[in-house]
Chain A
Amino acid sequence: MDTVFRASFSLLIVLLVPIVGYGQSTQPDLVSAQLLGDVDAVAAGAEFRLAVLLKIKPGWHIYWKDSGDAGVPTSVRVTLPEGFRAETPRWPVPKTFTEAGGIVSYGYENEAPLVLTVHAPQRLVDGATRRFSAEVTWLACADRCVPGSAKVHLDLPVSGEPQPANAERVAAWEKHLPVLADAPNSPARAMVTSTHRQPANQNVQMSLNWNRPLRKVEFYPPVHPALKIDRDSVTIETNKRATRIRFEAGLIGDAKTLKETLDALVVWTDRKGLRHGLEIPVDFDLKRSP
């Protein structure tokens, strides 16, 4: 009898373990945060995804990983259980905000899922529930700006056979994420070439050949604290199913060199008016003249 009771009780606990984690926001009426997983449990050697889902009050916006002319990028810091490893967060496709004075910034309204791919270690030493935490900081702006932050966590049990969870929400957040240019479902083939007039200046040309009709092409330059891309130098030309994007890149601040591959984001609007993102890697090699 006692055993039955205990077993039922344990079962009840397992069923009640949340697969959606909540947290505390400093400005809950402006931005709320939740941590969601696409699985209901973790297993050794498994790969799964976590999403920090931010909900923003109508009329307000927060910023992309590059805020543009003003504002501050949203940032996320994750704390993982021992042995777990997370890849760099994937940012949903931003939109452009233009304010008086020609101030252009990039960010999100309503909802933004920041998605992380997490890898479990090859061996899990015990069956204890694992806690995943994230701290998000943002600047929320409307006609004025208010900084904020939230701490969120998600507890996942250990299981030999994790099941998919939050399927509908996962499908929804997938729609927001850009695809890579060389992925099978990519809408275009991309080719990138660069020329240097001087070691500290690089002219980049991206050629895109689309495999479907589209209405509009937008360009969001790669982001790096040492990288400067003058918006006035960006040109976008589209002819039938080919787009050519050109821009100039240089160094800014106290950086002496930049030798890195960074992703540029091309946003294309389909015939239904929906916006999608395409990530294209660009190799940068800049050296400040001594």
Chain B
Amino acid sequence: MLRRTLAMGVMLAAVLAIGCEQERQPPAPADEPPREAAAPAVEHATATAAIGEPAPDFVLEDWSGRRIGLTGHAGDIVVLEWINPDCPFVQRHYKEGTMARLAAKYADRGVAWLAINSTHYMGRGGNQRWAEQYELPYPILEDRRGMVGRLYQAKTTPHVFIIDREGVLVYAGAIDNDPAGVKPPDERVNFVDRALTEMAAGQPVTIPESKPYGCSVKYTE
């Protein structure tokens, strides 16, 4: 009995000693081999958007509670425009009427325009005020939890995505080539207008991608 208890005690002590030994590692040497800093990892949702691939589906609500998603627009060309009323780039474009003008131009050609707001601190009230201030003919969908933004990897406001009638993503990028809003009219290229014109004529999109500009989307942590 005593021998067994003693043996157990020794075994327990040994186990504890090993455990402790593993924790007490010698400190890393001062000039450890350099750690590679590859680009910080980007968090991906399981099925993110890619040009040439089917666009991920979603359902969001506008400020009146109406549920809107891609399935409800099957057969339409769909434009997704990431928005943040607090961003100076969005403010400039809305003062100039850039998006509203485009939405109106293509409205009767089967193009549905959806604005999406992934700003974590802004809810329906903010979206409604903005929609009413500019009398917008299209809905602003609330995505303050950032789910759809992350699905599409929306980076900036504005950031625009165009989905064709078969549900394939055919454009992702900036609204135009003029981040500062200073280019003369003959040098300014509106990539979205150009893509929609081509799609309406049954032609392929010649510029499927451009670098988006604007404030970063203010996602929730």
Contacts and interface: CB of A to CB of B under 8 A. Distances in A.
Interface string A156-175: 00000000000000000000
B36 A236 contact: yes
Contacts of A243: 34
Interface residues on B, range: 35 or more
A238 interface: yes
A231 B44 CA distance: 14
A232 interface: yes
28 contacts: A69-B156, A70-B155, A71-B216, A72-B180, A96-B40, A100-B221, A101-B43, A101-B219, A102-B43, A103-B216, A103-B217, A105-B216, A144-B215, A146-B88, A147-B88, A215-B34, A216-B34, A217-B34, A219-B38, A228-B209, A228-B211, A232-B42, A236-B36, A237-B36, A238-B34, A240-B33, A243-B34, A252-B210
A217 B33 CA distance: 11
Contacts of B215: 70-71, 139, 141, 144-145
A253 B42 contact: no
A96 B40 CA distance: 9
Contacts of A145: 87-88, 215
A272 to B, nearest CB: 11
Nearest to A220: B39
A237 B33 CA distance: 11
Nearest to B214: A70
Contacts of B154: 101
Contacts of B87: 144-145
A104 B209 contact: no
B124 interface: no
Given A72-B180, A214-B34, A254-B177, A141 B40 contact: no
Interface of B: 30-44, 86-88, 118, 120, 146, 149-150, 153-156, 173, 177, 179-180, 189, 191, 206-207, 209-221
Given A71-B216, A146-B88, A252 B179 contact: no
B36 A238 contact: yes
Interface residues of A, number: 45
A101 B36 contact: no
Interface in A96-142: 96, 98-105, 137, 139, 141
Nearest to A251: B209
A251 to B, nearest CB: 9
A218 interface: yes
A123 B79 CA distance: 59
Contacts of A102: 40-44, 150, 153
Given A100-B218, A101-B149, A101-B154, 19 more contacts: A69-B155, A69-B216, A70-B216, A72-B179, A72-B213, A100-B219, A103-B155, A145-B88, A215-B35, A216-B36, A217-B34, A225-B211, A237-B36, A239-B33, A253-B191, A253-B207, A253-B209, A254-B177, A254-B206
Contacts of B156: 69-70
Contacts of A238: 33-36
A101 B156 CA distance: 11
A99 B36 contact: no
A236 B38 contact: yes
A99 B219 contact: yes
Nearest to B35: A216
The 10 closest A-B pairs by CB, nearest first: A70-B216, A101-B219, A102-B42, A100-B219, A231-B39, A145-B215, A236-B36, A69-B155, A253-B210, A103-B216
A177 B102 CA distance: 44
Contacts of A214: 34
A143 interface: yes
A69, A99, A218: residue with the most chain B Cβ atoms closer than 10 Å = A69
A99 B150 CA distance: 12
Contacts of B35: 215-216, 238
